[in-house]
Amino acid sequence: NMLLYLDVYSQFYLPIDCDDIYRHDNSSASGVYTVFPGGPTSPLHAHRDVDTDGGGWTLIQRRMDGTQNFYRPWKHYKEGFGNVANLSYVLSGLENIFLLTVRKKNELRVDMEDWEGGKAYAHYASFSIDPESYSYQPHLGSFTGGDAGVGLAVGWYNTCHYSNPNGMYAPTNAIAFENSHVIWQHWKGWNDSHKSIAMKIRAVSGCKEKHRHKD
């Protein structure tokens, strides 16, 4: 009967992303949740943000300090690395990001902070990446808002760019080198390295905790 079906469903419920978690339980708060973008044998511990711009975001990348070097082999980028619990640094893994974006249309938000406490963001209407056979090439939709300005590079590590979220982490107020450090040129120029940067995705067609994106 229907009650038995619902009980079995709840026991074997496997959310693909944080949007699925909201559909299943819209009372849950920001924090670390387990999602299954690749099915039951590939769990991913992901940080869910319900507080920023209506919530519903899945964190896919974050830098908050220089404790970890992001100059890493391809294997590390594919599989992911970092500590999602304290959020000092994390990359969800390009294979996971591919699986998160291949099933649904997602939007992208990039939040950043400078050493003086100034904050800015950039929002893109859509975001997806290709499979590994195409080097996980990212695809961005139109820039739709944010005081950081457009500038995300079309590669995971590229020295020809207007931004470098995976670059080297510079010491406090150190002069950055445009081809090496964490920068966002349209916000702070070529030589101002940022204190933190985070990339988040959200299903466009899914439910939002509070409201849709507003420019």
How many angstroms separate the CA atoms of 172 and 115, rounded? 7
The 10s digit of each residue's pLDDT in 76-89 is 878 887 777 766 56
Task: Give pLDDT, residue 215.
Answer: 41
The 10s digit of each residue's pLDDT in 141-194 is 888 878 766 666 555 445 445 556 555 555 555 555 455 555 555 455 455 666
Report yes or no on whether pTM surpasses 0.75: no
Which of 3.90.215.10, 3.30.70.2740, 3.30.365.10, 1.10.645.10 is the CATH number of 2-150+194-203?
3.90.215.10
In the chain, pLDDT over 90 holds for what percent of residues? 13
128, 154 in Cβ contact below 8 A?
A: no
The 10s digit of each residue's pLDDT in 112-132 is 887 778 888 889 899 999 999
Which residues, other chains included, contact 41 with Cβ-Cβ below 8 Å and sequence gap of 6+? Answer: none
The string over 175-200, giving b where at least 16 C-beta atoms fall within 10 Å of a residue's C-beta and e elsewhere, is ebbbeebbbbbbbbeeebbbbbbbbb
DSSP reduced 3-state for 128: strand
How many angstroms separate the CA atoms of 89 and 212, rounded? 27
Q: Where are the domains of the chain?
A: 2-150+194-203
Give the dihedral sign, CA 212/114/192/137.
negative
